[in-house]
């Protein structure tokens, strides 16, 4: 352990989430006692972690009403998005975890609304990984086990973190300049997984959690005006606020992946966060469908009267689609095939299927 200023600063995020080896964990407070700059930074990070790691409370959602939870055993074509009524279907250990996941969606003072879904998703995944000791090698999604899935999230969050001035926590990849964004993304994920598989799962979780805490401590996570500026992340130019919502989307999707692999019910995001995910997905989908036959898409459970006509504005509406918000997000996240997602459909079936296929094609998760 080095006790110099720069050396300690590199350890502060890991210290804030309680992930340092004992020797380092004892040495950091000694430096903080003599260094006001590091002490202030440490308190800022600790405050962020406290917001994410609230004490589990009653089985309620963010609004104080009973929370919903999805059946952790459902599969594509079986209504993955269907949500349990409060108090039913979630007994035993799974019910305790689901309650903890819901209660950890605390409102986070100091974090702006655009970053709140990410803070909640991080808190939920932090609760879930406590169930993983001894099961880190469980196959989860693609060819990843649970360890690799968290390693992937380190690489995924890194793109926004670096754009906001947070230092990378993984060794640099040798990806040739000009590599298409999608392929560069795959290469970076492969490098991250290879690197993290040489470490313990606990070290990987600590790296991911510390980077998440850093992201949520950035000025852009707390100030909507700063988050309104555009940034290009993974080849996608959007306001920084939207990139935080994308990070929330991915963290929740992969928590759901891990939960399903383990047979543990992972609740969907609370309604106000889910609506943010839906609205952003609809905006991106609308761009992809700009000249397609227009279809009215209604996502149930979002704000009353919310529906979007996606497609050409030079033709009459050809069809109407109705989707559950969780099912819609799972479709956009690549967890449903277009012909398997539950939906209501009237009108031109071909036009509606084009919307579903385009939504599924957006997936990069």
Domain residue extents for the chain: 5-47, 80-269, 278-361
Among the residue ranges 9-23, 142-156, 168-182, 321-335, the one predicted with the least confidence is: 9-23
Helix (H) or strand (E) holding 124, with range, is helix 116-129
pLDDT at res. 248 = 96
Among 100, 150, 151, which residue's Cα sits nearest to residue 129? 150
Topology agreement, domain 80-269 and domain 278-361:
no
Nearest one of 194, 195, 173 to 184, comparing CA atoms: 173
**Within a 10 A sphere around the Cβ of 14, how many other Cβ atoms?**
23
At 29 the pLDDT is 79
* Residues 185, 364: Cα–Cα separation, whole Å: 9
The answer to whether 17 and 204 are in contact (CB under 8 A) is: no
Longest dimension (CA), the chain: 71
- What is the distance between the alpha carbons of residues 322 and 345, in angstroms, rounded to a whole number? 7
Residue-wise pLDDT for 102-138, tens only, equals 544 444 557 899 999 999 999 999 989 988 999 999 9
- Structurally, at CATH architecture level, domain 80-269 sits in Up-down Bundle (1.20)
Contact yes or no for 227/240 (Cβ under 8 A): yes
Looking at residues 241-263, what average pLDDT do you find? Answer: 96
* Beta bridge partner(s), residue 344: 322
CA–CA distance, 55 with 46 (Å, rounded to integer): 15
| Sole residue written with tokens 């996606």 | 310
pTM: 0.75
Q: What share of the chain is helix, strand, coil (3-state, %, to 5)?
A: 50, 10, 40
Give residue 181's pLDDT. Answer: 81
Class of domain 278-361 (CATH, top level): alpha beta
């Amino acid at each position: 352990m080095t006790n110099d200023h720069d050396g300690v600063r590199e350890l502060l995020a890991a210290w804030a989430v309680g992930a340092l080896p004992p020797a380092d964990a004892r040495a950091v407070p000694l430096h903080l006692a003599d260094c006001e700059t590091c002490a202030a930074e440490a308190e800022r990070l600790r405050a962020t972690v406290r917001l994410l790691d609230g004490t589990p409370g009653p089985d309620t959602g963010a609004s104080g009403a009973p929370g919903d939870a999805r059946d952790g055993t459902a599969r594509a074509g079986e209504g993955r998005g269907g949500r349990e009524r409060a108090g039913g279907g979630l007994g035993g250990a799974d019910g305790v975890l689901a309650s903890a996941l819901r209660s950890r969606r605390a409102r986070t003072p100091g974090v702006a609304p655009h970053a709140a879904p990410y803070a909640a998703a991080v808190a939920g995944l932090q609760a879930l990984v406590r169930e993983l000791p001894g099961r880190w090698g469980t196959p989860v999604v693609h060819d990843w086990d649970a360890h690799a899935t968290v390693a992937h999230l380190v690489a995924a969050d890194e793109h926004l973190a670096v754009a906001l001035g947070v230092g990378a926590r993984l060794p640099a990849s040798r990806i040739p300049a000009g590599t298409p964004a999608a392929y560069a993304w795959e290469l970076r994920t492969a490098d991250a997984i290879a690197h993290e598989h040489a470490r313990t799962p606990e070290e990987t979780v600590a790296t991911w959690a510390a980077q998440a805490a850093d992201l949520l401590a950035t000025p852009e996570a707390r100030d909507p005006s700063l988050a309104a500026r555009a940034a290009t992340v993974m080849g996608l130019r959007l306001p920084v606020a939207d990139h935080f919502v994308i990070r929330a989307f991915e963290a929740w999707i992969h928590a759901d992946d891990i939960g399903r692999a383990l047979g543990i019910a992972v609740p969907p995001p609370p309604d106000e966060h889910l609506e943010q995910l839906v609205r952003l997905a609809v905006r991106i989908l609308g761009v992809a469908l700009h000249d397609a036959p227009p279809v009215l898409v209604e996502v149930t459970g979002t704000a009353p009267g919310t529906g979007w006509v996606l497609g050409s504005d030079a033709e009459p509406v050809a069809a109407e689609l109705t989707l559950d918000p969780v099912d819609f997000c799972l479709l956009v996240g690549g967890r449903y095939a277009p012909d398997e997602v539950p939906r209501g459909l009237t009108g031109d079936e071909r036009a509606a299927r084009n919307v579903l296929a385009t939504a599924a094609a957006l997936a990069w998760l």
